Structure 1
Amino acid sequence: MVLTTDVPTREQILARVQETLPTLRKNADWNEENRRVHEESIEALAEAGVFKLRTPIRYGGYESDTRTLVDVASAIGTADGSTSWVASVFWIPTWMACLFPDHVQDEVFSTPDVRICGTLSPTAMAVPVDGGIVVNGKWGFISGAHHSQWQVIVTVLVAPEGEPQPMMALVPMSDLQVIDDWHTSGLKATGSVSTAAQDLFIPADRVLHIGQVLTGLGVSAANATSAIYNAPLLPVASASSVGALLGMARGARAAFFERLPERKITYTGYTSQAEAPLTHLQVADAEMKIDEAEFHAHRLASLVDAKAAEAAQWTMEQRVKARADMGAVVRLAKEAVEIYASASGGSSIYSHQPIQRFARDVQAVNLHALMHPNTNAELYGRLLCGLQPNTLYV
């Protein structure tokens, strides 16, 4: 099913997203209690077009640039970090799906507002068979699995001859077992459960070598000339992810200032927290960190979008710096949230206060293997010291 659509501007998309925020805030507590995003929130995001941002125009999507992803995720994140994280995660496997053969995309995108979850962890094994591969294994941290129709999996293909090869495949969620094991302290509402496959046959046309995906060398004829689908995966994924962190930091700031007029500093002479010099130093420090995080997020998005528009090749330095920018956003957002949380006093730890949720969520993102600030800083430092990256994920 091939559609055409009038593609809204970034401003129009953001205006629609702003209309969803009251619903997203209302459902934030329910999300945490039930360890997944409320269906009402998912439907609100679908209505706003959030799940169309990386879908090809020919299927009714928007093919939005990464600056739009940053701004949309940031807006959603001010209401609920987990909801923003799930939306961001969907954009990345959706982009991956656009590298597969066109007839495979026809099937995937026949579902309106299709949602695709996924992972880059090769925690399953596969063997070749006639017409495809057979996979056995399990994948963890599958954010948004409860709301998805498809999953991108990674598996190690072991053939009778040759070296094992990491492969990526598209699988309907109906072919996978969903394991409800998401019991965590942060990002509780992302529903990042595990999934498993047992003797699962996957046809060859739904399988790509992971090297093709990491370098953006897809086999889609229809997307071959579309700028956003011709880029290395990690810069694209990095730019897709950072907006959620900006949103969490801005959400924590809003939660702090909402309570500030009624707060004093207990056991001191300050009857108004807003009058204390300590508060002035704290909020100024936090605000500068949010500004710095925004700089790195927008620089990353601008790089990805400019390279796509120019159809230019990526240098290794640019690819590594993209991950460094992502790591900087993650670190700075966490530092800003921690300042606001620390300045919010003991009453902020009650579960009905959103700032404690932002603090837990931003901490969880900082532990993500691909987003960890130290890992990304070290990778950039290696390159600056004349060494090659010690990972394929650049």
Structure 2
Amino acid sequence: MSPLGTEAQQVLEAVREAVPTLRRNGMETENRRWLVDENIELLEKAGVFRAAVPERFGGLDLPVADQAEILDTISRGCASMGWVSMVWISSAWIASLYPDRAQEEVFAGGSVRVSGGFTPSGTMTPVDGGYRLNGSWRFNTGVPGAQWNIHAAMVEHPDGRHEELFALVPTEDITIADDWDAFGASGTGSATSTAKDVFVPAHRVVDASVYDAATGDRWNAEVKGRNYSLLSYILATCAPVYMGIARSALALFTERVAGKAITYTNWTDQREHPHTQITVARAANRIAACDALSRDWLRVMQERADRGEQLTVEEKATVRGQVGYVVEAAKEAVQMLFDISSASTIMRGNHFQRAFRDISALSLHGLLTPTSSLEAHGRVLLGLEPGTDYI
């Protein structure tokens, strides 16, 4: 991976400084079931939400590897903040695939927070100048603090053909339920959003060609360097959240274990026990393996984008499978450390238990669950079709 550029390095340094605050605000974030205002403001000031905004609109337009490192670091402080930041950044990048007129509206402020409901649980009806959008989208991460939201919905054309479309609407046009109450990733505000007869102008609607970053009528359609394959890009920005949580858990464990006795034994310092030493090494090596895999797929993605090419099916399947492995391995690393932690770890004031619950919850995400991801990768390795469009 290439060294970070100057602007990315400045953002990263500001985020590193914010990590202790993000962590300190963890319990309040959970209790609110949404991000603490201070956390959002710190990252806004750092420039995080300009990361994927094109330069012509005042954004940083960072390469995906730089985005990933920033997201990893945020997640070391707060998994909920990391997950929401991932959604806001990656969805802002998706907005850069829309026609010019839509981009001018969304990116008018330079920094923008965009959320998205990508399960097509809504409908769109063609009307003069655009569409009428109706539906509800569950698990809409970050929508309480977003300025725009992307809604996946189905439209029935006059010829009877059904098509999945993606509508981009201001969040002020939708309603947000207070229905997010989860045991992990509690502060992500992944509430249900609902649109009722919302008019969406045609320039804010794109079709499934967005999956290959091939949407026309936009200034950057042929610009090299940032036209990644959509699903691979999304996966590549999700993975660092899991890695950041695992790194945080490892650091928290090693900070607390020094001088801690193993209760009801003669061991006065847990660090001296071989099982502790072996377990910590195994956890650290799992995290290091995840890091090595991520650096490889980020390199391939960037090389393809720099040449103006899309990833091959094999490369897309590799990204999905390896991200699935990262989710699995990162979760295992945290579980290993949790299993050799003292009973006080379960107290809500202990930051480690939050990392344990957060990664357990996020590992169940439908697109990222290891079983489905590894299946798609394995099928391609065996010369079969992926068995899914989501690669």
TM-score range, shorter chain: over 0.9
TM-score, with structure 2 as normaliser: 0.96
Q: What's 1:341 paired with?
A: 338
Number of equivalent positions: 387
Which residue in the other structure is 2:72 paired with?
A: 74
- Residue 25 of structure 1 aligns with which residue? 23
Contact 1:70/1:297, CA 8 A, preserved across alignment: no
Question: Residue type matched to 1:184 in 2?
Answer: A
The structural deviation recorded for 1:364 is 1.2
Which residue of 162, 187, 199 corresponds with 1:189?
Answer: 187
The corresponding residue for 1:162 is: 160
Instruction: Please tell me whether residue 364 in structure 1 is matched to residue 361 in structure 2.
Output: yes
Cα distance in structure 2, aligned partners of 1:288 and 1:110: 44
Which of 369, 374, 379 is the equivalent residue of 1:382?
379
Q: CA deviation at 1:112?
A: 4.2
Q: Report the Cα distance in structure 1 between the residues aligned to 2:124 and 2:109, rounded to whole angstroms.
A: 28
Q: Distance between the aligned counterparts of 1:128 and 1:220, measured in 2?
A: 20
Instruction: Describe how 1:30-45 pairs up with structure 2 within 5 A.
Output: 30-45=28-43
Q: 2:224 aligns with which of 221, 224, 227?
A: 227
Task: Give the 3 Å change call, closer, same or farther, for CA 54–234 of structure 1 in structure 2.
Answer: same
Matching residue of 1:259: 256
Q: Contact conserved, 1:8 with 1:62, CA < 8 A, in 2?
A: no
Deviations 1:303-326 (A, max 9, x none): 211111121232110111111121
Shift of residue 339 of structure 1?
A: 1.0
Q: 1:64 aligns with which of 62, 65, 73?
A: 62
1:32-56 residue CA offsets vs partner (Å, 9 max, x unmatched): 1101111111010011111011000
Distance 1:149 1:253 in 2: 35
Q: TM-score, normalised by structure 1?
A: 0.95
**1:214 paired residue among 211, 214, 220:** 211
CA distance in 1, matches of 2:33, 2:259: 32
Counterpart for residue 326 of structure 1? 323
Counterpart of 2:148 in structure 1 is 150
In structure 2, the partner of 1:91 is: 89
Cα RMSD after superposing both structures: 1.3
- Which residue identity lines up with residue 127 of structure 2 in the other structure? V
Q: Partner amino acid for 1:190? A: T
SS at structure 2 position matched to 1:104? helix
**What CA deviation, in whole Å up to 9, does each residue of 1:305-354 have, x standing for no partner?**
11111212321101111111211111111011111111112110000011
In the TM superposition, what whole-angstrom CA distance separates every residue of 1:334-387 from its partner, at most 9, and x where no partner exists?
Answer: 011111111112110000011110011111111000111111000011112221
In structure 2, distance between residues paired with 1:112 and 1:262: 49
CA contact (8 A) 1:99 1:229 kept: no
Q: Deviations over 1:213-252 (max 9, x none)?
A: 1111122532124334422211111111111111100110
Q: Secondary structure of 1:63's match?
A: coil
Alignment of 1:239-278 (within 5 A): 239-278=236-275
Structure 1 window deviating more from structure 2 (263-272 vs 168-177): it is 263-272
Structure 1 stretches of 5 or more lacking a match?
1-6
Deviates more, 1:53-62 or 1:312-321: 312-321
Report the Cα offset of residue 28 of structure 1: 1.2
Query: Which one of 289, 306, 315 corresponds to residue 292 of structure 1?
Result: 289
Secondary structure of 2:133's aligned partner: strand
Aligned partner of 1:132 in structure 2 is 130
Identity level (%): 35
| Paired amino acid for 1:78 | R
Residues 7 and 60 in structure 2, CA contact (< 8 A), matched pair in contact too: no
**Would you say the 8 A contact 1:35–1:190 is kept in 2?**
yes
Given that 2:83 and 2:241 are in contact with CA atoms closer than 8 Å, whether structure 1 keeps it comes out as yes
Q: Which residue of structure 2 aligns with residue 114 of structure 1?
A: 112
3-state secondary structure, aligned to 1:162: coil
Partner of 1:353: 350
Q: In 2, distance between residues paired with 1:131 and 1:328?
A: 45
The CA distance in 2 between the partners of 1:228 and 1:238, in whole Å, is: 18
Partners of 2:32 and 2:280 lie apart in 1 by 33
Are 2:23 and 2:351, in contact at CA under 8 Å, matched by a contact in 1? no
Q: Secondary structure at the match of 1:244?
A: helix
Preserved contact between residue 35 and residue 187 of structure 2 (Cα < 8 Å): yes
List structure 1 segments (4+ residues) > 6 angstroms apart after TM superposition.
Answer: none
Range that drifts further, 172-181 or 213-222: 213-222
Q: Is the 8 A contact 2:132 2:197 kept in 1?
A: yes
